[in-house]
Chain A
Amino acid sequence: MRNLRWAVEEMAPLKLKMREKPPAPATKVLYLVATLTPMFLIVAVIISMVGANPLVAYRELFTAPFRNIHNVTEILVTTTPLLLIALGLSVSFRCKFWNIGAEGQLYAGALASTATVLLLKDSATPSAVFIPLLLVVGFLGGAAWATISAVLKIKFQINEIITTLLLNFIMFYFLSFLLYGPWMDPISVMPQSELFPPAARLPKLIPETRLHTGLFLAVLSIPLVYLILNKTVLGYQIRTTGSSLSAARFGGINVGKVFLLVVIISGGLAGLAGMGEVSGIYYRLRGDISPGYGYTAILVALLGKNHPGWVTLVAFLFGALLVGGYEMQVATGIPTALALVTQPLIFFGVLCAEALSRYEVSWRK
């Protein structure tokens, strides 16, 4: 932040001055409006360039998600994996382990669950055994995939940003190999696995919708993550490690162990999200069960300041944004990608508002 300030002083005709006290909440909201407005204007220009009416598009984006019960359930459907992953990531980010491989960990969880289903599909395992088993396997799948990066960091000091990211690609291609090869559904020509037997499916929360009981897991994780971070010995060690690695070592904290546990939690929750998608929505493994939840969740965790409460709120808003994006596409014919563009722009806007509440900005004389 400090170097940024120097950079701005040197490059731009702007002067930044550290504020002596943080501005009032109302002022903060004002900053947010002031920084987000230009962001939406930018998208509006692009929308009109593809020949659509930006007002209609925005109306759809913001109101469609709440238009009817069905759409609200869709918000919750997308919120479920976002929230699970983002909660896990906030644990990981709190100790500055930059896990950006949640996408791969989600698929690892989905893959592990699917493997279990394929193994047991003819065994007539009852649902009461099957579902808990899949939950455990999904969690372990994601955790195991993430653990690779933790071990590489602890043993060989290899940067986790690189390894977690690259493992995403490995997972993706491995998945393609399975879906086009040994796991391909014999009765379809699509790259997807067989349908799960009913005993391996998560029950629906509301019939005729895609909303499944996986939502409970996500909601349950909110207080759980809060407790872990703030009330436990492990949470203390996570926060210490994140704030000062040398203080953590000084205090006798086994930093490697902390990284390992954190990765198991965050990878495991991502794996659980993957299990929820295959077992709660698609009832089979496909290559497109996640529209980038693992990446979006990074933004959710960061915007939520790694705090479970805020993360929940942001996850819901981003869920609404995704649903609104689809509705916008239906109503105006513009590609969903344009709706997705709003995500990083919102992120930028919030960062700018944050900077404004920290610094006083003026033109250089």
Chain B
Amino acid sequence: MNHDFWAVEKLTLTSQTPEGGFYAGRAKPGETVIEMRGITKRFPGVVANDDIDFDVKAGEIHALLGENGAGKTTLMNIMYGLLQPDEGEIYVRGRKVVMRSPKDAIALGIGMVHQHFMLVEPHTVTENVILGLKSPKGILLDLEGAKRRIEELSKKYGLKVDPDAKIWQLSVGERQRVEIIKALYRGAQILILDEPTAVLTPPEVKELMAIIRRMAEQGHAVVPFITHKLPEVMAISDRVTILRRGKVVARIRTKDARESELARHMVGREVLFTIEKNPAKPGRVVLEVRNLKALSDRGLPALKNVSFSIREGEILGVAGVAGNGQRELAEVIAGLRRAVAGRVLIDGRDVTNLPPREIIKQGLGHIPEDRMGMGLILDFSIAENAILETHSSPPFARGWFIDPQEVGKHAERLIKEFNIMAPSKDTLANHLSGGNLQRLILARELSREPKVLVANQPTRGLDVGATEFIRRKLLEQRDRGVAILLISEDLDEVMSMSDRIAVLYEGEIMGILPAEKAKVEEVGMMMAGARRQTEFEA
């Protein structure tokens, strides 16, 4: 995120006027506008980009696809001047360029739309768009002129947005349009879109696709970076370049390709979207959530009257687009966020707003969304991390002291049982890979034999092996009688793992369906805010 932060700083420094400059004059359709040759970038211990070739033509949509850790972000940062490659060359319209900062990239007609928007909320759209640019009127702002240009751009590309609206009044989709206008206003011919659909509802995605197509028709080169939304890649792009472990593994013309082919390239083998699982044997209710209300970090309602219950030996999956209250839900249950109304019951006991310690004692296990910040302490060893919740009770604590022998034995047991790849129990957590970090969290949480397990994005960003391992373990726990709340943005995961599926939209549950009757289309509609009429809840 530091990169994004810095990008704003750079933009505010820009006094570049959009007209003229190196990029004066239109590129002809089909002309290669940016070409990267043999890009290599190394970080301590990893080759993030290994001899990557990539090019985009004017009027083309060329998607970059790859899992987390495949090297997308690095390549994108190189393309936008945030990082310099160790080897390789970049050509913009045939001329070799060296970009030292986003300032240079912008001057060359490269624009970026970040996944997390960089907008000043109390300001209007117009004010945000001209932020950091030199005004034609010297020290006075030319808001009227800017507004006219924004309206022109908005008409030309179908980017519906009110220039006088304040950012905080806008929806996520509208904010993204403001970011696109910002880039176009600065004369961007090449548009880099970082995970453009990650935060959008399905209707907003459709609209965005129309805008992207419009931009391509107008001669822009568009480069969306996408992690796992294969159907979108198929629908929108002319070409796809697929990265895996820092290397280009495939370059495909989209119209010649099938979705499964993309998936195979991405993960390196055929993906099995189905998971074998035993029929559920639900017992009594262990987690009950009644009319829960909570606020987001910004003090806005994040959960509005959420109710559900989970039985022993059952997985309730929560589907939804990111930012619709998932994090808040997990945190309120774990006592990490205050419930402003409603109740949470574990095994019949009211645990609402109890200190986290008490809720842990009642039998809650929690795999948090933020693995490295919340789930683990990166400068602690595996052994120290393994006792995060249990360090103050026997056998790990003896009076005021911690018994290092017991702690060590416990860690070694977990390492063995959960196949954590590490030289020893004393290895620091920040030397572990993402998959092993998650195994460690899972191992720790399960070692406490919880009655209820809240798993928030348990497999996000993990490689296939770790993902399968985690999913198998979760199912194993379900069969042992644990009640599991599985929160995931990966719809396939929710559909294949859950016994029942709840859809969260803007802090409300749109409906709860039995998994065997749920259809992707229906869940998709609910994720976009369509309420389900008939409730299947027992």
User: Could you tell me if B45 and A20 are in contact, using CB atoms closer than 8 angstroms?
Assistant: yes
Taking CB atoms, residues of chain A closer than 8 Å to B2 are 2-3, 6
Tell me whether A232 and B400 are in contact (CB under 8 A).
Answer: yes
CB-based contact A252/B357 at 8 Å: yes
**CB atoms of A254 and B355 under 8 A apart:** yes
A250 touches B366 (CB 8 A): yes
Closest-by-CB residue of A relative to B368 is A250
Interface: B39 (CB within 8 A): no
Stretch in contact with the other chain, from B286-294, B383-391, B463-471: B383-391
Against B, the Cβ 8 Å flags (1 = close, 0 = not) of A1-27 are 011001000100000001110000000
Question: Does B446 lie at the interface of the complex (its beta carbon under 8 Å from any beta carbon of A)?
Answer: no
Q: Pick from B44, B376, B401: contact of A18, CB below 8 A.
A: B44
Write the chain A residue with the least CB distance to B98.
Answer: A365
For window 253-278 of A, CB contacts with B under 8 Å fall at 253-254
As a 0/1 sequence over residues 217 to 254 of chain A, the CB contacts with chain B under 8 angstroms (1 = contact) are 00000000000000111111101100110110111111
- Complex: how many Å from CA A95 to CA B388? 15
Query: Are B389 and A251 in contact, with the CB atoms below 8 A?
Result: yes
Q: Does B101 lie at the interface of the complex (its beta carbon under 8 Å from any beta carbon of A)?
A: yes
Does B336 lie within 8 Å of A249, measured CB to CB?
A: yes
Known contacts A231-B402, A250-B336, A250-B366; A244 and B389 CB within 8 A of each other: no
B375: contacting residue among A10, A20, A236, A247, CB under 8 A? A247
Contact A252 B389 (CB under 8 A): yes
29 A-B pairs in the complex with CB atoms less than 8 angstroms apart: A6-B6, A10-B101, A18-B43, A231-B402, A231-B404, A232-B400, A232-B402, A233-B397, A236-B384, A236-B391, A237-B391, A237-B392, A240-B380, A240-B388, A243-B380, A244-B373, A244-B374, A246-B370, A246-B373, A247-B373, A247-B377, A250-B336, A250-B366, A250-B368, A250-B388, A251-B389, A252-B355, A252-B360, A253-B357
Q: Are B356 and A240 in contact (CB under 8 A)?
A: no
The winner among B6, B379, B388 for most chain A CB atoms within 10 A is B388
> Residues of A at under 8 Å CB distance from B?
2-3, 6, 10, 18-20, 231-237, 239-240, 243-244, 246-247, 249-254
Cα A351 to Cα B376 with chains together (Å): 28
Known: A2-B2, A236-B391, A254-B355. A247 touches B402 (CB 8 A): no
In order of increasing CB-CB distance, the 7 nearest A-B pairs are: A252-B357, A251-B388, A246-B374, A252-B356, A243-B377, A20-B44, A252-B360
A19 to B380, CA, bound (A): 22
Q: Does B502 contact A (CB under 8 A)?
A: no
Q: How far is the CA of A237 from the CA of B373 in the complex (A)?
A: 16
Interface residue B90 (Cβ < 8 Å from any Cβ of A): no
Chain B residues whose C-beta falls within 8 Å of the C-beta of A249 in the assembled complex: 336, 356
For A3, list chain B residues within 8 Å (CB).
Answer: 2, 6
Q: Does B378 contact A (CB under 8 A)?
A: yes
Residues from chain B with Cβ under 8 Å of A239 in the complex: 380
**Interface presence of B334 (CB below 8 A):** yes
**Shortest Cβ distance from B415 into chain A, in angstroms?**
19
**The one of B101, B366, B400, B404 that contacts A234, using a Cβ cutoff of 8 Å:** B400
Chain B residues with CB under 8 A of A6: 2, 6
B401 and A232 contacting across the interface, CB-CB below 8 Å: yes
**Best-buried of A19, A231, A232, A249 by chain B (most CB within 10 Å):** A249
Given contacts A240-B377, A246-B370, A252-B357, contact A233 B391 (CB under 8 A): yes
- Least Cβ–Cβ distance between B144 and chain A, in angstroms: 34
Report the minimal beta-carbon distance from A14 to chain B, rounded to whole angstroms.
13
Contacts of B388 in A (CB 8 A): 240, 247, 250-251
Residue of A nearest to B404 (CB): A231
Bound complex: CA A228 to CA B368 (Å): 29
- 18 other contacts beyond A246-B374, A247-B377, with CB at 8 A cut-off? A3-B2, A18-B43, A18-B44, A232-B402, A233-B400, A233-B402, A234-B400, A236-B391, A237-B391, A239-B380, A244-B373, A246-B370, A250-B375, A251-B356, A251-B389, A252-B360, A252-B389, A254-B357
Interface residue tally for chain B (C-beta within 8 Å):
36
**For residues 320 through 366 of chain B, which have their beta carbon under 8 Å from a beta carbon of chain A?**
334, 336, 355-360, 366
- Residue of A at shortest CB range from B399? A233
Name the interface residues of B1-48: CB closer than 8 Å to any CB of A.
Answer: 2, 6, 43-45
CA separation between A233 and B403, bound complex, in Å?
Answer: 9
Tell me the smallest distance from the CB of B42 to a CB of chain A, in Å.
9
A contact residues around B379 at 8 Å (CB):
243
Nearest to B393 among chain A residues (CB) is A233
Give bound CA distance, A82 to B356, whole Å. Answer: 39
A residues within 8 A CB of B404? 231
Looking across the interface, which residue of chain A has its beta carbon closest to that of B379? Answer: A243
Interchain CA distance A234-B402 in the complex, whole Å: 9
Q: How far is the CB of A60 from chain B (nearest CB, A)?
A: 42
Q: How far is the CA of A10 from the CA of B6 in the complex (A)?
A: 11
Give the CA-CA distance A215 to B404 in the complex, in Å: 32
User: What separation, in Å, do the CA atoms of A96 and B269 have in the docked complex?
Assistant: 46
Q: Write the chain B residue with the least CB distance to A240.
A: B377
Chain B residue nearest in CB terms to A234: B400
What is the chain A residue whose CB lies nearest that of B13? A10
B residues near A234, Cβ cutoff 8 Å: 400
Q: Complex Cα distance A243/B376, Å?
A: 10
Q: Which residues of B contact A236 (CB under 8 A)?
A: 384, 387, 391, 402
The smallest beta-carbon distance between B333 and chain A, in angstroms, is 12
Contacts of A20 in B (CB 8 A): 44-45
B297-335 interface (Cβ within 8 A of A): 334
CA distance A195 to B143 in the complex (A): 75
C-alpha gap A249/B368 in the complex (Å): 12
Which chain B residues border A254 with CB–CB below 8 Å? 355, 357
Chain B residues within an 8 Å CB radius of A246: 336, 370, 373-374
Partner of A250, one of B44, B334, B358, B402: B334
A247 touches B374 (CB 8 A): yes
Q: In the complex, A152→B388 CA distance in Å? A: 27
Chain A residues contacting B373 (CB-CB under 8 Å) are 244, 246-247
- Residues of chain A lying within 8 A (CB to CB) of residue B377: 240, 243-244, 247
A6, closest chain B residue (CB): B6
Chain A nearest CB, measured from B328 CB (Å)? 14
Which of chain B's residues has its CB closest to A239's CB?
Answer: B380
CA distance A244 to B373 in the complex (A): 7
A253, chain B: closest CB distance, angstroms:
8
In the complex, which residues of chain B have a beta carbon less than 8 angstroms from the beta carbon of A240? 377, 380, 388
State the CA gap A19–B44 with chains docked (Å): 7
Distance (whole angstroms) from the CB of A245 to the closest CB of chain B: 9
Residue among B368, B374, B375, B384 with the most chain A CB within 10 A? Answer: B374
Task: Report the Cα distance A239→B388, complex, angstroms.
Answer: 11
Question: Would you call A243 and B356 a contact (CB within 8 A)?
Answer: no
